[in-house]
Chains A and B, each alone.
Chain A
Amino acid sequence: MSISEYIKIILDLTDVDIIESSMLYDDELHIKVDGGNFAKVCNLLHESLPSPVMMLFAEDMVSISGKFVLYCAFLDAEKRSWIFVRQDIAGDKGTFGSISKDMYSASLFEREIKEMFGIEPAGNPDLRSLRLHEEVWPKESHPLRKDFAVKRPSSFKGAKYEFRRVEGEGIFEVPVGPVHAGIIGPGHFRFSAAGEPIINLETRLGWTHRGIEKLLEGKDLASSVKIFECISGDTAFGYSLAFCHSIEKICAIIVPERAKLIRALFLELERIYNHVNDIGGIALDVGFTFPAQFASLIKEKALQLNEALSASRYLKGINTIGGVARDIDASQVLLLRERLPVIKKDIMTLEKLLFSNVSFMDRVDATGILRTRTARDLGVTGVAARASGIGHDLRKIFPGIYKTLNFNVQKEHPGDVAARLKVRFGEVKVSMDLVQECLEKLANSPDQLIGPVDTKEGFGLGYAECWRGPVLVWTRLDGKGRIARCKIVDPSFHNWEGLSFAVLGNIIPDFPLCNKSFDLSYSGNDL
């Protein structure tokens, strides 16, 4: 199907006037409409594709065109394309019609736009801040506006955050966090319970907000890659990969085959150590300590392998714009061939330990169910979605180098802790095989590691199917090779809400177990 046919099919879905449409890249369709038709077009795409709102974000172009631009991105998994719908918002007006009544997956994004830009999504009933907590940040101050200054109004006293209240006889609240008993990131969980079952869970996040999107503005590419490696430390490789991808798209940089293979190899190694870590966490949270300790040893072996290959346990310093900064040499290939089978054997043992234990299975079966419909409505992605019967995996939709590699998407249906556990075990095994395949292909690939880099102005979406799910990075580059605006979406952003729904009706002591089975990022969500 040609690009013009594709545009026609999409535009035929709607009877509204399209101001502009273009296929910016072979995987990005852009449609511009006016404010009055924005919600209608978005809703049509949302229902016909079907796709949740994958991204919804604003860009401050007031100094250039006097306007803000609002982008809403959908995923056409079947035709392998991202569809961006955009509208201009007059700079002096600062409001747009909320779309989250018809598309719930837009609601968190709208709250984000409100706090970061001060643009009001008219009609959204929940406009509380996500990351800039009322207690410490004045609500008139919007960091992602270009005219933002850090100065606080002198009269600022700090406001109070209102949790949703469940009322009735015998209802009580259990507040947990932000400082937790374990060594993990900070988050606040407010449980409302009657007896043991959870009636409502409100998750308040944003505690690790570091202002990353603002920090990136004006940065050169090399320092940006370093920042991306520190957004969510357990996804250092995946984040830098998604960022490099966005720049390589904008600047039409050709990444050499060998670099693509090395990137795939490390992306899978990142998946392996994290999935093993999560599996161990699930065992730990039901008090099954032997497999938990065993898993921590497997993770340690994987981290030491990472270090032997890249001089970094967390795979930092590998990705660079245009390719990779490190090769895998012959001795490292041998090392991988020697150590991977050991790790694989351990993982098989771990799987047997867990799945053959009746009392363990009793804890994970039918616990923390996230229904397919709920997952769809919330826009849940990645492992959590695949365990609830939504088989999306960017490695299949936009294969790139994965086209030459053999693998199946791991999918389960029940959406419980056991399903998420099975998806992880399935994916670890797949990743092991993928690494082997990459090694075979590396033997015959030419030496070049970095393609010629020549920056130009423009914008584009980079992405990677990381171990939690898709990491999306939309970047606009200015004419000097610096970042003008960057929007980042971690799979945790929507999946935290998935967790809030999955725990309903479960007992509070099962919360850590449900939480671990989602294994979400605080820092990736908080940015």
Chain B
Amino acid sequence: MKTEIVMGEELKKAIHAKFGRSFHIREVDTGSCGACESEIIACSNPFYDIQRFGIDFVASPRHADALLVTGPVSKNMLTALKKTYEAMPGPKFVITLGDCALDGGIFKGSYYTEGGVKDILPVALHIPGCPPDPTTIIKSLLTFLK
């Protein structure tokens, strides 16, 4: 728990310095099983409370600094993914979360998945796991923002 507090403090400083206390993330599910979503939501629960570090999940891509993508990109979601990215104001970057979003993961080779967000959008950070737990998500964001 103590290391998490230290980690959180560092994260807070990094966000204050780089994003003026408001690092905003828009999430898009491109075919995930829902476990990644559950863990992203858990980041905001009172136990982890990611908002205290200056990170928030926003309802519209227009308000976002970063796009957080889960899932192996099903063919049906390809257009929606691109449109969401296009709707974001710059500067912007993409984070992928969960093993599927890296290269299709367990769904690799399916007739209906594009397999890997990096082939579609420029990805700045990948958070591995199936699903990554909230501590891993927070840690990865910190390491990246530093």
Contact = CB atoms under 8 A, between A and B. Distances in A.
Nearest to B31: A208
B6 to A, nearest CB: 21
Pick from A183, A296, A303, A316 the residue with the most CB of B within 10 Å: A183
Contacts of B111: 143, 148, 150, 211, 214
Interface stretch (A132-140, A246-254, A421-429): A132-140
B124 interface: no
B44 to A, nearest CB: 8
B75 A227 contact: no
18 contacts: A179-B28, A183-B27, A185-B34, A185-B37, A207-B74, A207-B77, A208-B30, A210-B112, A210-B113, A212-B110, A215-B107, A227-B106, A230-B33, A277-B38, A303-B42, A313-B133, A314-B35, A523-B34
B145 interface: no
6 closest Cβ contacts across the A-B interface?
Answer: A233-B35, A181-B59, A233-B33, A296-B45, A211-B110, A211-B112
B76 A523 contact: no
Interface string A99-135: 0000000000000000000000000000000011101
Interface string B71-88: 110111111100010000
Interface string B94-135: 000000100001110111110000000000000000110100
B17 interface: no
Given A183-B57, A208-B31, A210-B112, A300 B47 contact: yes
A48 B5 CA distance: 63
A321 B47 CA distance: 36
B36 interface: yes
Given A207-B74, A232-B33, A300 B45 contact: yes
Interface size class of B (residues with CB under 8 A): 35 or more
B78 A136 contact: yes
Interface string A210-221: 111011000000
Given A186-B29, A210-B107, A137 B35 contact: no
Interface in A187-243: 206-212, 214-215, 226-227, 230-234, 236
A215 B33 contact: no
Contacts of A501: none
Nearest to B45: A296
Contacts of A135: 76, 79
Contacts of A168: none
Interface in B18-62: 27-42, 44-47, 57, 59-60
A214 B72 CA distance: 16
Contacts of B47: 297, 300
A37 B29 CA distance: 45
Contacts of B80: 178-179, 186, 207
Contact of A523 (B27, B31, B39, B41): B31
Interface residues of A, number: 49
Given A185-B32, A186-B29, A293-B46, A178 B37 contact: no
B76 A209 contact: yes
Interface of B: 27-42, 44-47, 57, 59-60, 71-72, 74-80, 84, 100, 105-107, 109-113, 130-131, 133
Interface string A284-326: 0000000001001101100100010000011010000000000
A521 interface: yes
A206 B76 contact: yes
A182 B32 CA distance: 15
Contacts of A297: 45-47
Interface string A146-187: 001010000000000000000000000000001101111110
Contacts of B35: 230, 233-234, 236, 314
Nearest to B61: A179
B39 to A, nearest CB: 8
B110 A215 contact: yes
Contact of B77 (A178, A230, A234): A178
B77 A232 contact: no
A354 to B, nearest CB: 18
A66 to B, nearest CB: 25
B79 A208 contact: no
Nearest to A186: B29
A522 interface: yes
Contacts of B36: 233
A210 B131 contact: no
